[in-house]
């Protein structure tokens, strides 16, 4: 066993003791980031290449700092995004919703579909759609100055075809010039009720921006209601929405997109753990 692999084993034990959910993966990812290699190449590094800064990274993770803040990167579908303090770290479960949206756009009988991502954060969803649906025109909306800065960096770095337009705006009244013209709205809004504060993992609660977490109202769904109203304004007749929620909110979010509000084909959809994760609906054509 090389020195680095031995140190990774020690780091894994420390992270496990600290309650980190994926200690081995985090220990390896930190080692790969600090040594400038892939996780698969860690075993090839000679003992002389070991960088003692590795233990600084382990100490930060042990103290509850998100792995992605330490490495400065987050992976989402086929993207490597820049992230750090001030922006919500994209989660794997959101990749399922993004994939659903991409499949729907590919199947649309629309030459250049118009997409709006409400509350884009790091721009993970917007950039994934742009990368995988080359004909799409994507408008990404973000109000928070810190998150907007991270989105701007990622779009500048990854939007090779210039498909994504970033708007520094409140999604409650953004993009009025597109009213009735949008083919798909997608959103991962804040949806956690404050009553759940003590149950939110420490690295999320203490490091992700509050504006991206707490949805407002007793049920945490006030922001969701704003997304619904904005989507109803933006979408063309027959346009589609996909919106993420917690695994316990499928039923109430489903009813936010009610027939009385002009929606049809409402459906709860599940993530990779087979839990309710996002609702989709279509705006009526009448």
92 labelled ligand-binding: no
Q: What is the pLDDT of residue 197?
A: 66
C-alpha 85/C-alpha 148 separation (Å) is: 12
Chain segment 117-143, per-residue pLDDT in tens: 999 999 999 999 999 999 999 999 999
Nearest-CA neighbor of 247 among 94, 60, 36, 48? 94
C-alpha 267/C-alpha 134 separation (Å) is: 27
Q: What are the start-end ranges of the E strands in 25-124?
A: 73-76, 79-82, 114-118
171 labelled ligand-binding: yes
Chain segment 87-100, per-residue pLDDT in tens: 989 988 899 999 99
Task: Report residue 85 as tokens.
Answer: 């303090």
Task: Report residue 233 as tokens.
Answer: 């304004």
- In CATH, what number does 85-283 get? 3.40.50.150
Domain limits of the chain?
A: 3-63, 85-283
Chain segment 200-246, per-residue pLDDT in tens: 677 777 777 767 776 777 788 999 999 999 999 999 999 999 999 87
209 labelled ligand-binding: no
199 labelled ligand-binding: no
Provide the CA 270 distance to its chain's centre, in angstroms.
Answer: 16
23 labelled ligand-binding: no
pTM of the predicted structure, to 2 decimals: 0.91
Chain segment 23-69, per-residue pLDDT in tens: 999 999 999 999 989 888 888 888 888 888 999 999 999 998 999 99
Q: Say which residue, 166 or 213, is predicted with more confidence.
A: 166
State percent of the chain over pLDDT 70: 95
191 labelled ligand-binding: yes
Task: Report residue 87 as tokens.
Answer: 């922006």
């Amino acid at each position: 066993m090389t020195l680095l692999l031995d140190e990774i084993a020690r780091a894994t034990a420390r992270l496990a003791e600290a309650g980190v959910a994926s200690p081995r993966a985090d220990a390896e990812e930190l080692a790969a980031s600090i040594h400038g290699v892939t996780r698969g190449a860690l075993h090839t590094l000679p003992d002389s290449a070991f960088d003692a800064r590795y233990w600084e990274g382990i100490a930060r993770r042990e103290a509850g700092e998100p792995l992605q803040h330490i490495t400065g990167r987050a992976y989402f579908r086929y993207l490597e995004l820049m992230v750090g303090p001030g922006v919500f770290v994209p989660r794997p479960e959101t990749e399922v919703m993004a994939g659903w949206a991409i499949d729907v756009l590919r199947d649309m009988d629309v030459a250049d579909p118009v997409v709006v991502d409400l509350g884009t954060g790091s721009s993970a969803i917007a950039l994934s759609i742009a990368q995988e649906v080359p004909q799409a025109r994507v408008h990404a909306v973000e109000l928070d100055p810190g998150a907007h800065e991270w989105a701007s960096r990622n779009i500048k770095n990854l939007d090779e075809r210039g498909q994504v337009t970033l708007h520094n705006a409140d999604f409650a009244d953004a993009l009025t010039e597109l009213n009735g013209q949008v083919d798909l709205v997608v959103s991962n809004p804040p949806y956690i009720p404050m009553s759940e504060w003590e149950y939110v993992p420490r690295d999320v609660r203490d490091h992700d921006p509050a504006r991206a977490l707490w949805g407002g109202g007793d049920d945490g769904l006030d922001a969701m209601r704003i997304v619904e109203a904005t989507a109803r304004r933006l979408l063309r007749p027959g346009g589609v929405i996909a919106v993420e929620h917690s695994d316990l909110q499928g039923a109430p979010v489903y009813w936010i997109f009610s027939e009385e509000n002009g929606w049809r084909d409402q459906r709860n959809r599940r993530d990779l753990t087979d839990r309710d994760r996002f609702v989709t609906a279509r705006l009526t054509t009448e």
